[in-house]
Structure 1
Amino acid sequence: MANGIHHVTAIAGPANRNLDFYTRVLGQRFVKKTVNFDDPGTYHFYFGDEAGQPGTIMTFFPWEHAAPGRLGIGETQETTYRVPKASLGFWMHRFVEMGVVHEGLEQRFGETVLPFKDPDGMRLSLVGIEGIESEAAWTVDGIPAEHALRGFQGVTLLLDKIEATAAILTDVFGFEKIGTQGTVTRYKAPGIEIGGIVDLRAAGEFLPARPGAGSVHHVAFRAANDAEQAALADKLRKDYRIQTTEQKDRDYFRSVYFRSPGGVLFEIATNDPGFAVDEPADQLGQALKLPKGLEPYRDRIEQVLPELA
């Protein structure tokens, strides 16, 4: 069984700017408004498709005065979203119209890609995929369904050497090597179209990443349930002597974390229970949701959090 990407979690600057970009500019659904469980004075935003399915979820810790990160070794260099191939022209026009920093179209592994950045400088791209127009899509004003995002294709990790990380991808998570282009080697989770690609870029000696606004904090891979998650963690410990954290309950999934050999922080997240566990599916993202342990402090937390427009 292959384990595709569950979500990508990043650090952002001002909360309102982050919320505006991912919902209005990119047209993602705001599926959950909660707080950083380890720093409850900070929001934790989740953006995705209508239900927040694994493979569509981009999450952020927005800090109003976060210093910019620096791209480097041991970090996610880019996160790529899928769009119908015929939509790339629409998106180029939209980015020009809305002042989104972007580059020209380029070819990667036989696919046309449009690289761009969010307001914090985080590197993103759209890849045009044939035949996905009929996939369900969340729509907002100005982005018709035929052009809307269809979840992640995957991520590109910037590494010194790729071999040790590649072994984790293939042996633990079930990815398969499918090609190399220049310094990038592509791995695919068989049978998984949404969040099924991890590209490893070998950069050699290069500055290490410095976390901050615009940088990815971690990449999470899917586990069907607790048993599969435990088996994956056990394999990491026994076969690779990689220690994982204890399981942490994140309300919408349960997580274990580990540092991959290339330095990137990885998570294994369960598919269940999902985002409709504490609010109706048609009202996702509308109310501030707190974990049970923080509920008694709601008034104090709400006073500290920035007001959202």
Structure 2
Amino acid sequence: MDVRPSGIHHVTAIASDPQANADFYRNALGMRLVKRTVNFDAPQTYHLYYGDRAGNPGTVMTFFPWPDAPRGRRGAGQATVTSFAVPEGSLGWWARHLSALGVEADRPAERIEEDVLTLRDPDGLVIELVASAGTHDTDPWDGGAVPVEHAVRGIRSVTLTEHDADRTAEMLGGRLGFEPVAEDGPRHRFRTGAGTEGVGTLVDVVADPRAERGLVAAGTVHHVAYRAPDGPTQEAWRGALAADGVDVTEVRDRSYFTSVYFHEPGGVLLEIATDGPGFDYDEPLLRLGRALRLPPWLEPRREEIERNLPELAVPEEGA
């Protein structure tokens, strides 16, 4: 079986207050709101997408903000950390920027020869900024609160916390084509495919047999999506996973990509998402994220959906 995603497509998490969420990712992290839509399976809540200028695969963090959501619990069977790549030498600027906004961050630390700054979003989701000199084939957003020379380049990696890391490592290496590249105590690092570089190509698996089981709610990651270049490749990967006995969903239309979902052995929900058609599928690139977009099958319910969604004020930014 040759399932070799070229990297992370996006990471999706749960939030509570949509306004606090948008303010943080736009102003504190300087990301562009590239799509304002709803959860297609539960349209009473928003689905907010943040990324680089065009929301290129590998740069996108998305949220389902449920205003009354309880706080979740980070633990085993979850993606417990999302790491963003920022330019090498920029962590000092980021520390000052976050401090000025009242965002607490740990002192920079070194891990596997990388400098890392750890912080939390308004719901407690753990975010890392990793100073990276690697390849960043993205288009950093220069119309927001962070100067482009310091801007987030994309998702560097995710960290999976597992009771039994061996089973997860077996799926990553045996079924998904990842390759082990480094170890640091209980942390095992894998890279997607042979020789791939750039954003979203790393995943860390941390073994913690004593960790409490994670609870997915506000402040936790819901799923991690990996990239397929197109629909036929995605369908081939889906068939290969099913042939290996993995319980994988049918292909689901998400308007801006199509998706299949499955769980890795430790319980983390994974997705394989196509690169296209992309976020300018239903609105011009220069106006991404400025209006509520709905898929065709929900458009007849627009008035009802808009009436039930909380207000979300997002000032227009440069483009």
Q: What interval of TM-score do these two structures reach, taking the shorter chain for normalisation? A: over 0.9
Moved more, 177-186 or 162-171: 162-171
CA displacement, residues 28-85 of structure 1 (integer Å, 9 cap, x when unaligned):
0100000011111100000000111111000000011111000111001100000111
**Larger helix fraction of residues:** 1
What's the CA shift for 1:131?
Answer: 6.2
Q: Supply the distance in 2 between the matched residues of 1:166 and 1:131 (Cα, whole angstroms).
A: 24
Within a 5 Å distance, the mapping from 1:96-175 to structure 2 comes to 96-130=99-133, 136-175=139-178
What is the one-letter code of the residue matched to 2:223? Answer: H
- Give secondary structure in 1 for the equivalent of 2:243: helix
Kindly report the root-mean-square deviation, in angstroms, between the aligned alpha carbons of the 2 structures: 1.5
SS across alignment from 2:90: helix
Evaluate the alpha carbon distance shift between residue 134 and residue 247 of structure 1 in structure 2; reply closer, same or farther with a 3 A threshold: closer
Task: Say whether the 8 Å CA contact 1:74–1:158 is kept in structure 2.
Answer: yes
Unaligned runs of 5+ in 1: none
CA shift for structure 1 position 111: 0.5
Letter in 2 for 1:227: P
Return closer, same or farther for 1:232/1:32 CA change in 2, 3 Å cut-off.
Answer: same
Equivalent residue for 1:200? 205
Q: Deviations over 1:242-282 (max 9, x none)?
A: 11011100000000001110100001101111111101111
Equivalent runs, 1:202-281 vs 2, <5 Å: 202-239=207-244, 241-281=245-285
Partner of 2:24: 21
Aligned residues, how many? 308
Code of the residue aligned with 2:218 in structure 1: it is A
1:35 and 2:38 correspond? yes
Deviations 1:151-190 (A, max 9, x none): 0101000001112222222233322100100110000123
Measure the CA separation in 1 of the matches of 2:174 and 2:32: 34
Structure 1 residues 9 and 131, CA, compared in 2 at 3 Å: closer, same or farther? closer
Q: Distance in 2 between matches of 1:134 and 1:250?
A: 24
What are the ranges of 5 or more consecutive residues in structure 2 without an aligned counterpart? Answer: 314-319
Change (3 A) 1:141 1:61: closer
Per the alignment, residue 291 of structure 2 pairs with 287
Q: Does structure 2 conserve the Cα–Cα contact (< 8 Å) formed by 1:247 and 1:254?
A: yes
State, as a whole percentage, how many aligned pairs show the same letter. Answer: 46
Is residue 84–residue 132 contact of structure 1 (8 Å, CA) maintained in 2? no
Q: Please give the alpha-carbon distance, in whole angstroms, between the structure 2 residues aligned to 1:134 and 1:47.
A: 17
Closer/same/farther in 2, CA of residues 131 and 185 from structure 1, 3 Å limit: closer
Are 2:301 and 1:303 aligned?
A: no
Q: TM-score, normalised by structure 2?
A: 0.93
Looking at structure 2, the residues matched to 38 and 204 of structure 1 have their Cα atoms a distance apart, in angstroms, of: 34
